[in-house]
Amino acid sequence: GAGVSQSPSNKVTEKGKDVELRCDPISGHTALYWYRQSLGQGLEFLIYFQGNSAPDKSGLPSDRFSAERTGGSVSTLTIQRTQQEDSAVYLCASSLDGLGMSAFFGQGTRLTVV
Amino acid sequence: GESVGLHLPTLSVQEGDNSIINCAYSNSASDYFIWYKQESGKGPQFIIDIRSNMDKRQGQRVTVLLNKTVKHLSLQIAATQPGDSAVYFCAENQAGTALIFGKGTTLSVSS
């Protein structure tokens, strides 16, 4: 596609449920990033995929969070047993090679845990 | 830990003025820096980037300055317009690592 696509754009879920957020990066981009942004706050790094290398998971806040990237393209961020503090906008970005190239962002998924 | 931060959380300017948004970083190993603009309800949008082997780079109405001696980055916007109102983030990166963002500066432009 022309840009990074994220789905759904909005998700409301009950506390304790699992959710999956999807990211379709720009075609050909080998690097993919997930960030979390709480209301009025900056971007909190979650996880980074670069080619076939092991992902950098150092930003994942707990073991309830996981992400995978299949076939070097689409990525899914999974949050298990959601909590109210998980409510935020989850942003995905991709870049051509991650080696200093600029990253382009999707519009984000707004997650609300009730 | 190492992080990227901004000096001021908010900046208010008049239309037509020049704006300067500042950012301090602490990781001397960072070799790539980016400025992003984020409008309400949207994802961050790339504005301009600069590598550590440069000290200045110009785009359309925007200039980024890098001072590696004091680990300082700035974004200058010429002839600021109401459409420039947004939150501006700087981000740093080392080769092969994730982009790390600062907290952001909210720019408000009044007519």
Q: What is the DSSP string of A91-108?
A: EEEEESSSSSPPPEE---
Q: Report pLDDT for B73.
A: 93
If 0-12 CB within 10 Å is exposed, 13-18 middle and 19+ buried, where does residue B97 land?
buried
B5: pLDDT strictly greater than 80:
no
Tens digits of residue pLDDT in A80-112: 999 999 999 999 999 987 765 678 999 999 999
- pLDDT band for A70, please (50, 70, 90 cuts): confident
Q: Report pLDDT for B3.
A: 44
pLDDT average, residue stretch B42-69: 94
- pLDDT band for B60, please (50, 70, 90 cuts): very high
Tens digits of residue pLDDT in A24-66: 999 999 999 999 999 888 899 999 999 888 999 999 999 999 9
Which chain B positions have a beta carbon within 8 Å of A48's beta carbon? 97-98
CB contact under 8 A, A56 and B43: no
A5: pLDDT strictly greater than 90:
yes
Q: How far apart are CA A102 and CA A26, in angstroms?
A: 12
Interface of A with B in 64-103 (CB under 8 A): 91, 93, 98-100, 102-103
Best probe of the A interface among B21, B40, B50, B97, by most A CBs < 10 A, is: B97
Best probe of the A interface among B6, B40, B99, by most A CBs < 10 A, is: B99
Q: Which of B42, B49, B103 is facing A42, going by the closest CB pair?
A: B103
**What amino acid is encoded at A26 in this protein?**
I
- pLDDT band for B7, please (50, 70, 90 cuts): low
CB contact under 8 A, A105 and B43: yes
Q: How far apart are CA A75 and CA B43, in angstroms?
A: 17
B4: pLDDT strictly greater than 60:
no
Single out the residue of B96, B50, B104 nearest to residue B73, CA to CA. Answer: B50
Q: How far apart are CA A100 and CA A7, in angstroms?
A: 27
B20: pLDDT strictly greater than 80:
yes
Q: Report pLDDT for A41.
A: 84
Percent of chain B past pLDDT 70, that is, above it, reads: 94
pLDDT average, residue stretch B35-58: 93
